[in-house]
Amino acid sequence: MDEPTVRRRVREMITTGALPCEDPATLWGGTGDGKRCAACVEPILVGEVEYEAVLASGRKILLHRPCYLIWMEECEPGKSTPEATAPSTP
């Protein structure tokens, strides 16, 4: 999945609460073993970096490294999306 598509998906998941904006209480990195990424839903294959984030709520999410970085960017305080800053039409 390409970066703009993943970014849109992550934004939608944050909006709906499917992917919360919580700082991980713990974060582990390792090699993938085929489990699905919480952001792009593609398998994290052997040879790819898998991040396992355990949130303060106890929820565990698995993400590809690029998907993790997008998630962190989209959760930055004050983050304004292009959709949020687009001028409205009367």
Global pTM? 0.81
Q: Return the structure tokens found at 45.
A: 């294959």
In a domain, 89, yes or no: no
DSSP assignment string, 64-90: EHHHHHHHHHHTSTT---HHHHSPPP-
Q: Is the Cα torsion angle 48, 10, 73, 24 positive or negative in sign?
A: negative
In a domain, 70, yes or no: yes
Query: Chain centroid to CA 81: how far?
Result: 15
Residue 74 has pLDDT above 90, yes or no: yes
In a domain, 71, yes or no: yes
The CATH code of the domain that includes 32 is 2.40.50
Q: 1-56 pLDDT, tens per residue?
A: 899 999 999 999 999 999 999 989 999 999 999 999 999 999 999 999 999 999 98
Q: What is the pLDDT of residue 1?
A: 82
Mean pLDDT of 68-87: 71
In a domain, 85, yes or no: no
In a domain, 86, yes or no: no
Q: Into how many domains does the chain fold? A: 1
In a domain, 23, yes or no: yes
In a domain, 31, yes or no: yes
- Torsion from C-alpha of 17, 42, 54, 68, nearest 10 degrees: -80
In a domain, 88, yes or no: no
